[in-house]
Amino acid sequence: MSQASKDKRDDARDIGIVSYMERTRQYYRALGYEQDYVWARFDDVPFAPLGKPLAAVRLGLVTTASPPGLGNRDTRGVRHVWSGEIAPPPATLFTDNLAWDKESTHTEDRESYLPIETASALAREGRFAGLASRFHGVPTEYSQRKTLSEDAPEVLARLRADGADAALLCAL
């Protein structure tokens, strides 16, 4: 298939949902990468029912943003799970290193991607019991192995330490 045909096909898809996987493949090929990224895919999906009424749930928040100053990187440049306080909420977080649509929008309003104050308002209204005292940041990694073996277990441990019953995960 010619590139023009592929572009046309992609445009047709864009009437509905944007095909980010195809966009990403085309972009990295244009950068000269010879191997396409292999996206994670699973046949089986785990499911944990909410074990108590929502009004009794303590909720943990998880973001893909980084702390200001990228303080979650160690001396070798490896990024790690990090945590921040809900109160007071951070004014801003670092998002420049993430793949979001920098031509169409901005991330100057932290609530648009990590809704601490919005969720707090919903808790005050009685929708759920309250937020855990910390939110947690998880690095977006090329390596699925690192996410599965290091970062995801660390997020789980921190949520459990906070007494969270469930988690709201907001992906930029």
Partner 1 sequence: MSLVARHLEANGLPTVIVGSARDVVEYCGVPRFLFTDFPLGNPCGLPWDRSMQHAIVGQALGLLETADRPRTTVQAPFTWKADDPDWRGRYGRVDPAERDRLLAAGRKRREQQAAASELKKG
Contacts (CB under 8 A) with partner 1, residues 75-104: 76-78, 95, 99-104
The CB-of-69 to partner 1 minimum distance in angstroms stands at 18
- Straight-line distance from the first to the last Cα atom of the chain, in angstroms, rounded to the nearest whole number: 32
| Beta-strand relationship, 166-170 and 82-85 | unpaired
114 binds partner 1 (CB under 8 A): yes
The CB-of-151 to partner 1 minimum distance in angstroms stands at 7
112 binds partner 1 (CB under 8 A): yes
56 binds partner 1 (CB under 8 A): no
The CB-of-134 to partner 1 minimum distance in angstroms stands at 15
Selected binder of partner 1 within 2, 35, 108, 126 (CB under 8 A)? 108
Contact present, 72 and 144 (Cβ < 8 Å): no
Of 44 and 88, the one with the shorter C-beta distance to partner 1 is 44
| Residue recorded with tokens 């864009």 | 14
Selected binder of partner 1 within 1, 2, 5, 11 (CB under 8 A)? 11
Backbone phi, psi, residue 122, to 5°: -65, -35
- Token digits of residue 20: 């980010």
Of 70 and 148, the one with the shorter C-beta distance to partner 1 is 148
Selected binder of partner 1 within 39, 70, 85, 163 (CB under 8 A)? 39
Selected binder of partner 1 within 82, 83, 93, 128 (CB under 8 A)? 128
Cite the DSSP H helix spans in 14-142. 20-30, 116-124
Shortest CA distance to 140 belongs to which of 96, 104, 110?
96
127 binds partner 1 (CB under 8 A): yes
Say how far apart CA 85 and CA 135 lie, in whole Å. 6
Torsion, Cα 66 69 73 76, to 10 degrees, reads 150
126 binds partner 1 (CB under 8 A): no
